Structure 1
């Protein structure tokens, strides 16, 4: 067929038929949105006309007489089997082994591509003056911006992992063109920044996947993030996938404890601290036999071994004092062996109290993890006697005392995360204290990586079922196993993980530990896989579904308020909170940040002495200038995710980039937390709390009551109020509004002055001003 057909269609009516080089339609709709979303009543889906050129895949849209490219032409292909009807055009690319279809729907174009044997296909290729991309919370990206051009140079981003929602918007001169990926799996964005930023999408058709189709909805709308997000939100509602926090709280009222709650990672991983030891007496009780036993346990059952401990013990023998460093090494070594199942030795621990004996009578191998820690603490107390404080006071100063002080200072709501479930099992009184104060408290957990040989230092990668390492790990299409986190071990196939989830959570909870929340690493990040193993082939869609099922199991069967890393919206109906949407991991591959320990940008290591916050989380570092625009500059930030999910998923920073992590940016981040309704994320230990109590309490006295109101409402508006985009406003429901001035100059707004570096909250109770200039 040499000629293509052009249609001009007003719904249900064919106006004319002309021989031409493309196929064109007119889509009209002025239906007002009347969903629950509280969007202003004058919002409507835009009317637009469009032309299709099958040979190049080019689509031109026209709105109010203005034509724009929705998809740039690709190299011309041979076309066959062109069919057209009132609302649909379809064709084949015989050489590419692909079929294409564009169908007019009421509000949008439904565009789909089907493989007839092709392994991949690239469409669309797009270009615009600027973009609205849901990278994390959302980014406004001018196509000629130098920082973004450098950052995206030759970049490839997996859509379902790199975007928090599977859409992208092209900002043209007079309107925006919105693509929503109906089938987000196996899509990769390829960026070209040789001139201005452009990108294309490539879809892979895995051999193990019987679904050979991918596609998009294409909308034309006003050039602002509120309307773009609203269209996507209605798409989610239409699919029945939107669920508010209030709806989630119907099955678990504890979710309401998140309203007004800062997110706090609480660092206290010691069973006994330096303050619990009477150092003038310890040498008498740590006899040679006990020291030898500790050396053996450290050598055989810990990664660090006994070398440092042995050196320090030799030094202390010849001193009449124990210095600070020596105390730290001895305390750390004691805590390490207290975790070891082989700790009990009747020759070393002859004096056993009745409570500990009762546990020993069960057989050490039959004890739960929580019982093991209780038993080992009892054994140690029996050995050290009056060289330590009373057993029920161990670690109290760094755990329950800090938590109680937080509450007494005015922090009456908090989500408390522990870096490991063991930290709670070691100190169940701490978990009970959090519950008594009305806090949510829960452990970090992960089913992403699996190690061949498990150990307590990395217990999330250890599994009871030892067959999983060989029989349930993921193989890529090259036939190689996919490595686990930091290159260690392998990735576990989620479809084979649920029995382990059930077993692990049951083991942790069996003695009644009062966890009421659970954090699952990776499951909401979109880091999913096609598994080409011949024994358990699994598609990305099946991988993702299994992740949702295991989180749903923990939420429903274990009664936990569930959260995950990332928070990409495929998980929005399951999770209540997420860490990483607001500030993700900043440039993982930068050597100055990750490897060069002498660099001012080095973020720090994963381990800290004395159970304090590791530098990776607590050390303040500046952000490199080339990354500031990308990750934290408010001029480039737009709350796309919040405009869709503000009252559905509570999102905050990745734990590596908490609210206080970035030097000289604490105040700006406070302003963004108010503007976007983001919980601050802190890393707290005894030292950090003592140093920062006043600052945290002052800020939270403003933030917490605001969040408690705003989180129950949809975000209904986002606006930039100045050309430099440094004064912005958001609205929540019909009663709350926030105006933030990030700039160094005061700003006149509706008859009043918004001072530099301040946020003004307008609500039913008047207005409240927060000044961030001091931070």
Structure 2
């Protein structure tokens, strides 16, 4: 390794050795606060040494030692390795910043340091705490599973927590990156990145932080705010946005789309609600029109349709209005794979419609036309399926070629249009970090371990199917999970409010619509408590019969949430900790001084009953909130 000595080193705290031709020279050392970081450019081994403490490994060697030439780069260093990858190293705030640029089409695979114990803190959906030696999670990842940096990771940052430190990692952009987990004498993790259009450079931040469960979230929020990339609700304000806060959400079915349902809600005492509906083109019964939307608005509710821009089907057989497009978009606008074959749409319906084909279409922009139609009908909110999830596609059609990065840009633009031009309250599916600036609420992000959902969802005999259309089993039929399924999706000791610690004052996060609060009766009480602890509203599937059955729960969900969190714009969630060794009693703190404690155990803890939440406000007597009696 050849290094050029610099007078600048003394200024920026770099303690590199003088030039040498060997690959075993002293590493580059950079200081950020009380942490000294050491990077060996010959191998890419990285460690952190806190003042007065032993070194902590952050990354093992990426490759065998190589002879490289290190040169100054502003306040840092740069070099190139034998595979043609360019590296730039510097300090950003309290972190070490390493940018890696690789040849297009190449891949980087870099393992985290071997974990023999401790806990991985990973924003898998809302957030998960995976003990590295936990037999359950080791078995779940016996075969490697990867979480995309723009989709299954709700934000691209994670930590390994031990009793002393939280080794923390964050990506400036998760596009074409994955965090992969696998069992190898314990749960291990590795970072993968594909260098491609829009992702030519991997921007990796590494930091050694105090050992707190929210370490990756608090660090990532700090990065976003420092870089000017965080958008709060105030930055995305629309006239009806205040109606979103503290409101339960519901998809209405059958006669839930009739005016009488709105009267039922009002009689029940529900004065704030987000109502979504999916019009059924196969029947003229219970279709939502301007009268319903006008009455919902007058009663204080947000109401609007399900919308989707990613699927196209033949008009004669389409199963939803949003899948019907003009002749110049279907089938001409279908995504094509590298072999020129049309990519089939979700659930083998029609095709995947190219966002680039929509942009290039001559004439009015169809998403804008649809938003305009919804506002003309009186909608105050709209839910756009798929777009915010971050599962981008490439299109190899010669008429509308598109990269992953271009697909992302197109989706950002059409989501933002609803807010900026049409002043709608906007929701989408599984909002993650990249789409947080163009959405107000998310159906799905509050779910945990989302990859476990799809095998369950596919088993229609157990979970319920799509018939009858006015009261579909997938939404109304009760589901009894196995013990392993229950732990994977709902286990309290494995879950963390990581997404809330970053985005609580930016995005209202809820569970997926297939998992309304009443879908899994054995978990309803714990989910009720978690909603209060995390400040994530409940989601429901309702018609008039179901509302009559579960009305006391819906009213309690509204009233208790308001007692715990108020009815104004959410404030940041600032801290979280486990209060018992089994991690079943948990505490969350908020920026306005509120302290919430939830008991997910089976026995009373300090007079707090199971499935109850204690709310303590400054200078007020604590109040315990508990679920109502089980519905019939």
TM-score, normalization by structure 2: 0.90
Residue in structure 1 matching 2:401, options 530, 537, 551: 537
1:69-108 correspondence runs (5 A):
69-76=57-64, 78-83=66-71, 87-94=75-82, 96-108=83-95
> Could you report, residue by residue, the CA deviation over 1:299-335 in whole angstroms, capped at 9, with x for unpaired residues?
xxxxxxxxxxxxxxxxxxxxxxxxxxxxxxxxxxxxx
> Could you report, residue by residue, the CA deviation over 1:608-645 in whole angstroms, capped at 9, with x for unpaired residues?
25x23x11011111222223333211111111111111
Instruction: Give, in angstroms, the shift of residue 453 of structure 1.
Output: 4.5
Q: Distance in 1 between matches of 2:74 and 2:420?
A: 48
Q: Residue 643 of structure 1: SS of its match in structure 2? A: helix
In 1, are the aligned partners of 2:144 and 2:181 still within 8 Å (CA)?
yes
Q: Distance in 2 between matches of 1:630 and 1:5?
A: 53
Q: Distance in 1 between matches of 2:103 and 2:458?
A: 45
Change (3 A) 1:432 1:133: same
Q: Residue 127 of structure 1: SS of its match in structure 2? A: coil
Q: Distance in 2 between matches of 1:746 and 1:112?
A: 50
> Which residue of structure 2 aligns with residue 407 of structure 1?
266
> Which residue of structure 1 aligns with residue 464 of structure 2?
604
In 2, are the aligned partners of 1:454 and 1:463 still within 8 Å (CA)?
no
Q: Residue 386 of structure 2: SS of its match in structure 1? A: strand
Change (3 A) 1:588 1:452: farther
In 1, are the aligned partners of 2:119 and 2:161 still within 8 Å (CA)?
yes
Change (3 A) 1:15 1:83: closer
Residue in structure 1 matching 2:132, options 122, 127, 143: 143
1:25 correspondence with 2:29? yes
> Could you report, residue by residue, the CA deviation over 1:228-280 in whole angstroms, capped at 9, with x for unpaired residues?
3222112111232222223433xx12110012210011112xxxxxxxxxxxx
Instruction: Give, in angstroms, the shift of residue 721 of structure 1.
Output: 0.8
Residue in structure 2 matching 1:563, options 407, 421, 427: 427
Q: Distance in 2 between matches of 1:106 and 1:239?
A: 11
> Which residue of structure 2 aligns with residue 417 of structure 1?
276
> Which residue of structure 2 aligns with residue 313 of structure 1?
none
1:46-445 correspondence runs (5 A):
47-64=34-51, 65-76=53-64, 78-83=66-71, 87-94=75-82, 96-116=83-103, 119-128=106-115, 129-152=118-141, 153-206=143-196, 209=197, 212-249=200-237, 252-268=238-254, 399-420=258-279, 426-445=288-307
Change (3 A) 1:256 1:462: same
Q: Distance in 1 between matches of 2:600 and 2:626?
A: 11
State the aligned residue count: 612
> Which residue of structure 1 aligns with residue 362 of structure 2?
none
1:472 correspondence with 2:333? yes
Instruction: Give, in angstroms, the shift of residue 451 of structure 1.
Output: 2.1
In 2, are the aligned partners of 1:447 and 1:460 still within 8 Å (CA)?
yes
1:482 correspondence with 2:336? no
Q: Distance in 2 between matches of 1:57 and 1:16?
A: 15
> Which residue of structure 2 aligns with residue 682 of structure 1?
540
Larger helix proportion of the pair: 1
Q: Distance in 2 between matches of 1:754 and 1:472?
A: 57
In 1, are the aligned partners of 2:289 and 2:377 still within 8 Å (CA)?
no
Deviates more, 1:762-771 or 1:553-562: 762-771
In 2, are the aligned partners of 1:97 and 1:118 still within 8 Å (CA)?
no
Structure with larger Rg: 1
Change (3 A) 1:467 1:2: same
Q: Distance in 1 between matches of 2:42 and 2:485?
A: 40
> Could you report, residue by residue, the CA deviation over 1:321-354 in whole angstroms, capped at 9, with x for unpaired residues?
xxxxxxxxxxxxxxxxxxxxxxxxxxxxxxxxxx
Q: CA RMSD in A?
A: 2.8
Q: Distance in 2 between matches of 1:476 and 1:168?
A: 33
> Which residue of structure 2 aligns with residue 282 of structure 1?
none
1:731 correspondence with 2:589? yes
In 2, are the aligned partners of 1:671 and 1:772 still within 8 Å (CA)?
yes
> Could you report, residue by residue, the CA deviation over 1:200-245 in whole angstroms, capped at 9, with x for unpaired residues?
2222123xx2752222111221111344322211211123222222
Q: Distance in 2 between matches of 1:10 and 1:170?
A: 32
In 1, are the aligned partners of 2:3 and 2:69 still within 8 Å (CA)?
no
In 1, are the aligned partners of 2:279 and 2:320 still within 8 Å (CA)?
no
> Which residue of structure 2 aligns with residue 587 of structure 1?
452
In 2, are the aligned partners of 1:449 and 1:490 still within 8 Å (CA)?
yes
Q: Distance in 1 between matches of 2:229 and 2:91?
A: 24
Residue in structure 1 matching 2:414, options 534, 541, 550: 550
